[in-house]
């Protein structure tokens, strides 16, 4: 039986101001192929141009796996040059594009998030985990290394020592440990995962778009070492001229809920 089209394996669905990036390759535990990476690239382009989307949920149709990582059968056949030029470079570029989306992103993780699947989740701003979720960088067990920025993003999130423990042993970390380490923002029961992710995305989407997106950029820039005093001053100057700020101040003075622009 032939493989489904990339647009069937990774698709974009909309629920008002919230978009859902849906991984749908359950028979292969959502293992990522080059075609799926190219599809993610195209969908990121769609989101960049979509001013109506205020938040994004990245999720799976399978409870067994958020994403089991890169498709070993595909990358192992590429050879050294193909591995670097096609696999590593493409993954880095597209994952960086996902991380840089203007709107906040939430990964809803059930089952395994291993290898490239964990690296994919690390590109999101927030990670919600089902209690049954497991996280790992298992590449060392088959004599390779993580190739899509996982060690750097993981170390920035949970610290170098814990990142080394995961990368050097390849052993999975369960959801409660992920929460304790700061890898997961919240842990919920499996049947509550998608509802909680949708609710959190809706709460973010209900806020003023410019302030939300600038705040995301502030945090990302500060995490990269930019001076926060300069960042905050520039951001405040930019925000000061927006209609959303005027509405927020008026609502505060009038003791009512703000009515932010939804266009």
**Proportion of the chain in helix, strand, coil states, percent, rounded to 5:** 55, 15, 30
Contacts of 174 (CB under 8 A, 6+ apart): 133, 134
Is 3 annotated as catalytic?
no
Options 7, 48, 81, 119, the catalytic residue: 119
13 is catalytic: no
202's tokens: 């809706």
Q: What are the contacts of 219-222 at 24+ separation with CB within 8 A?
A: 220/99
Phi, psi of 13 (to 5 degrees): -120, 150
Three-state SS string over 104-130 comes to CEEEEECCEEECHHHHHHHCCCEEEEE
- The catalytic residue among 3, 139, 189, 254 is 139
Q: Where in 122-218 does DSSP place strands (E)?
A: 126-130, 134-136, 173-174, 186-188
* In the block, residue with structure tokens 């009038």: 254
List active site positions: 119, 139
């Amino acid at each position: 039986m032939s493989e489904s089209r990339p647009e069937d394996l990774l698709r974009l669905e909309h629920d008002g101001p919230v978009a859902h990036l849906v991984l749908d390759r359950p028979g292969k535990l959502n293992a990522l192929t080059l075609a799926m990476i190219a599809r993610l690239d195209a969908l990121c382009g769609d989101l960049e141009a979509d001013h109506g989307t205020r938040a994004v949920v990245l999720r799976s149709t399978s409870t067994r796996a958020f994403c089991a990582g890169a498709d070993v059968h595909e990358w192992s056949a590429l050879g050294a040059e193909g591995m670097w030029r096609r696999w590593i470079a493409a993954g880095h570029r597209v994952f960086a594009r996902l991380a840089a989306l203007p709107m906040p992103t939430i990964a809803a993780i059930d089952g395994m998030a291993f290898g490239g699947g964990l690296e994919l989740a690390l590109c999101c701003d927030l990670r919600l985990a089902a209690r049954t979720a497991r996280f790992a960088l298992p590449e060392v067990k088959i004599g390779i290394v993580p190739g899509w920025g996982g060690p750097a993003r993981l170390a920035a999130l949970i610290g170098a020592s814990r990142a080394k423990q995961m990368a050097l042993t390849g052993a999975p970390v369960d959801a409660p440990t992920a929460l304790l380490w700061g890898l997961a923002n919240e842990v919920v029961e499996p049947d509550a995962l998608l509802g909680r992710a949708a609710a959190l995305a809706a709460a973010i989407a209900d806020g003023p778009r410019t302030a939300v997106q600038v705040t995301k950029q502030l945090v990302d820039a500060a995490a990269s070492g930019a001076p926060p005093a300069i960042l905050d001053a520039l951001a405040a100057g930019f925000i000061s001229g927006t209609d959303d700020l005027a509405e927020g101040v008026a609502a505060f003075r009038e003791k009512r809920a703000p009515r932010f622009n939804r266009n």
